[in-house]
Amino acid sequence: MDVEIARGIAHWAHSGQRDDAVLRDERLTPVQLAALELLTRGQGEMYELYVLRIVHAQGEEGRLARTVMLADLEDRLAHGPVDHRAPPYAWARRHILSAQYRRHEEVV
Mind listing the pLDDT tens digit for each residue in 81-101? 778 888 999 999 999 999 999
31-51: pLDDT as tens digits: 999 999 999 999 999 999 999
Angle, CA 97 vertex, CA 60 and CA 107 arms, to 5°: 60
Q: What are the sequence ranges of the domains in the chain?
A: 29-102
Angle between helix 30-39 and 3-15 (nearest 10)? 40
pLDDT digits (tens, 9 = 90+) for 48-70: 999 999 999 999 999 999 999 99
The residues near 7 (Cβ < 8 Å, ≥ 6 apart) are none
Closest CA to 18 of 45, 47, 39, 48: 39
Residue 44, number of CB atoms within 10 A of its CB: 5
Cα 30 off chain centre by: 16
